[in-house]
Amino acid sequence: MTCEKMFRRGVLVALFLSVPLPVPAQPAQPTPPAQPAAAPAPAQGSTIAAIPRPVPDFSTRDLDGRPRNWSELRGKLYLIDFWATWCLPCRDTLPQLQAIHAKFSEKGDFSVLGIAIERTQSGAARASSFAKSLGVTYPLYSDFGSGEARKAFEVNALPDLYLVDAEGTIVDRWLGSDIDFEDVEATIAGRLAAAKPAP
């Protein structure tokens, strides 16, 4: 057999070996029944059906690490700000919150209260230093550790503001980086006016 014939036979054998073998047909799988569609999640910042609702008691710490219970703080109208030093929009809101605190807290029936979402005590110290550098004078607390405050308010984004009345009920909420602080002030003023005893 000549080299040419041997070469042609080798090519044919190679082609035969490279052709894929037919795959046996697989039996058809039954189609699973359709699942009911999930209900759409509420949009961030939208009206929340759970408001008004009471705030369950929780423990937090001041920025020196001393524990405090929510039950000790109740008794006035609070604007509670959940924030963090790593949240840029939160940092921008602190001067506006300080202005609100200065405007409405003179009579002792209102206060802004800041709760920093920090993971460690050193993070809480960093939050304290940052707030003081901006001239913040309202009470500041930290939610590092168990995160009880965040869970009690169901916080899932920052910045997150809650208006809580003297009975400990959440009566309003503002969420996100585009908070309308004119609306916040008007709501606080209305609440304080309505709480005044009749002449």
| pLDDT score at 9 | 40
Q: Which tokens belong to 12? A: 């044919």
Query: What is the spatial distance between Cα 81 and Cα 97, in angstroms, rounded to a whole number?
Result: 8
Q: Which tokens belong to 149? A: 């405050």
Q: Is 167 part of any domain?
A: yes
Q: Is 144 part of any domain?
A: yes
Q: Is 111 part of any domain?
A: yes
What single string gives the DSSP state of each residue in 48-106? Answer: -TT-SEEPPP-EEEETTS-EEEHHHH-SSEEEEEEE-TT-HHHHHHHHHHHHHHHHH-T
Q: Is 25 part of any domain?
A: no
| pLDDT score at 199 | 65
Closest CA to 163 of 51, 59, 87: 51
Query: What is the spatial distance between Cα 98 and Cα 83, in angstroms, rounded to a whole number?
Result: 14
Q: Is 41 part of any domain?
A: no
| Domains identified in the chain, total number | 1
Q: Can you give the residue range of the structural domain that contains 163?
A: 53-194
Q: Is 160 part of any domain?
A: yes
Q: Is 115 part of any domain?
A: yes
Closest CA to 113 of 164, 175, 64: 164
Contact 110, 78 (CB under 8 A): yes
| pLDDT score at 120 | 79
pLDDT tens string, the chain, 199 residues long: the values are 433 333 334 333 333 323 332 333 444 444 433 322 322 333 443 434 478 999 988 988 887 778 889 888 889 999 999 999 999 999 999 999 999 999 999 999 999 999 999 877 788 889 999 999 999 999 999 987 778 999 999 999 999 999 999 999 999 999 999 999 999 999 999 999 998 776 6
| pLDDT score at 53 | 93
Task: Give the distance from CA 40 to its chain's centroid.
Answer: 18
Q: Is 47 part of any domain?
A: no
- Which CATH number do you get for residue 179? 3.40.30.10
